[in-house]
């Protein structure tokens, strides 16, 4: 009986270490929805024509992404609706859909409903104060 408990404990440790290693092989991506009222309730982000996130207004989601080159887009395209990331294992990236820090009034008028941009950690920290994590579905 003790032998079986020992083997079960060892097996559980292997599973835990395996899961921890898998998470360390990824990067973290935060996607924020900062759309103003009237610009749509959701920000949808796709990669390779596959939806990876649909974020409600004033919310954010957290995704684990593989290292490598990623091209994120909004389905409705404009010249400001694409973000390219060269993702490095263990790093954290921040992307916002809608109105982003430093956006000019002209860009708000032209692109806010379709904008997607990478932001700094400092800008993301300000958004964390204003937003809540989106409930997982």
119-132 residue pLDDT tens:
999 999 999 999 99
Contacts of residue 132, defined as CB under 8 A and 6 or more positions apart, other chains included, come to 58, 59, 60
Range of the domain at 122: 27-132
Number of domains the chain contains? 1
- CATH label of the domain that carries residue 110: 2.60.40
pLDDT tens digit sequence for 81-129:
899 999 999 999 999 988 766 666 666 665 566 788 899 999 999 999 9
The CB density around residue 83, as the number of other CB atoms within 10 Å, is 22
Structural domain includes residue 89: yes
pTM above 0.95, yes or no: no
Whether 9 is covered by a domain: the verdict is no
Classify strands 82-87 and 50-56 as parallel, antiparallel or unpaired. Answer: unpaired
User: How far is the C-alpha of 60 from the C-alpha of 136, rounded, in Å?
Assistant: 11
Q: Specify the higher pLDDT residue, 136 or 12.
A: 136
> What is the rounded CA–CA span in Å between residue 42 and residue 54?
6
Burial of 36-53, coded b for 16+ CB within 10 Å and e otherwise, reads eeebbeebbbeeeeeebb
């Amino acid at each position: 009986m003790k032998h079986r408990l020992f083997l079960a404990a060892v097996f559980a440790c292997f599973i835990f270490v395996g899961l921890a290693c898998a998470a360390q092989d990824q990067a973290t991506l935060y996607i924020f929805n900062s759309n103003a009222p009237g610009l749509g309730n959701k920000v949808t982000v796709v990669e390779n024509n596959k939806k990876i996130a649909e974020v409600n207004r004033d919310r954010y989601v957290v995704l684990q992404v593989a290292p490598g080159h990623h091209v994120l887009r909004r389905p409705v395209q404009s010249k400001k609706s694409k973000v390219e990331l060269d993702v490095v294992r263990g790093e954290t990236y921040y992307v916002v859909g809608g109105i982003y820090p430093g956006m000019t009034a002209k860009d708000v008028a032209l692109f806010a409903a379709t904008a997607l941009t990478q932001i700094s950690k400092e800008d993301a920290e300000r958004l964390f104060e204003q937003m809540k994590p989106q409930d997982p579905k």
